[in-house]
Amino acid sequence: MTKKAATNATVDPAVVTKEIEEMVATGRKSLQDAFINGTEAAEKAFKSNSETFKTNYEKAVAEGKTGFEKAIKTLEGSQFYDKNSAEAFVKASNAAVEKSEKIGAAMIDYGTGRLQEVFNVAKTIAETEDVTKVVELQTEFARSSMQSYVSEMGKFNALVTDAAKSVVEPFGAQYAANLDMFSKQA
């Protein structure tokens, strides 16, 4: 074919447009599949790591309790151990361990739940081809995330307040007992 014949050849715009649309659709599908596969791999890794973290956390709390109990038993044999004074400390320490365990578990549950929601939304968005629907999904996720955050912070606040009261309470009772004993001696 001569140069002049190649220049005079006609190109059908509809054919070119169709070829470009097919390439874009194929590329988009490949990207969606890659993103979904990556999200699923990240989700599996996260679940595995979070389960390991939870197990290690629970083990550390249990070992901490055991260590504390051993320390108290060791102190009980000491001539400097005052059972009345130590009792408030033991009660407060046990309350602190119990309440911190609840707070820690609640924080872990909240964090893992939020991340699971992120994975779910990411997969849904990747599978959605309508841009308007994607914006709706993101808007709904942002709204529900904020509502969940506010709700959970209220729960955490209640847990921390309860923990503080539980830890201080034994000392208050000990203080009152000491004050009563002192006033009787005076």
Taking only the tens place, the pLDDT of each residue in 75-98 is 776 666 667 667 777 788 888 888
Residue 56: per-residue pLDDT: 83
- Phi, psi (5° rounding) for residue 50? -70, -35
Give dist(CA 97, CA 91) in Å, integer. Answer: 10
pLDDT-based confidence at residue 127 (cuts at 50, 70, 90): confident
Q: What is the per-residue burial (b if ≥16 Cβ within 10 Å, else e) of 99-128? A: bbbebbeeeeebebeeeeebbebbbebbee
pLDDT grade for 145, boundaries at 50, 70 and 90? very high
Residue 160's pLDDT band (cuts 50, 70, 90): very high
162 pLDDT band, cuts 50/70/90, is: very high
Tokens read off for 157: 């606040």
pLDDT of residue 6: 52
Query: What SS3 state is found at 1?
Result: coil
Position 84 scores a pLDDT of: 66
Q: What percent of the chain has pLDDT over 90?
A: 17
pLDDT tens column, 24-65: 777 777 777 777 777 788 788 877 887 888 888 888 878 877
pLDDT band, very low/low/confident/very high, at 155 (cuts 50, 70, 90):
very high
Q: 43 vs 34, 48, 111, 122, CA distance in Å?
A: 14, 9, 13, 11
Nearest-angstrom CA–CA distance, 153 and 159: 10
Q: For residue 68, what pLDDT is reported? A: 74
Sequence ranges of the domains in the chain:
11-185
129 secondary structure, DSSP code: -
Please report which confidence band the pLDDT of residue 2 belongs to, taking 50, 70 and 90 as the band edges. low
Rounded CA-CA distance 124/43 in Å is: 14
C-alpha 32/C-alpha 26 separation (Å) is 10
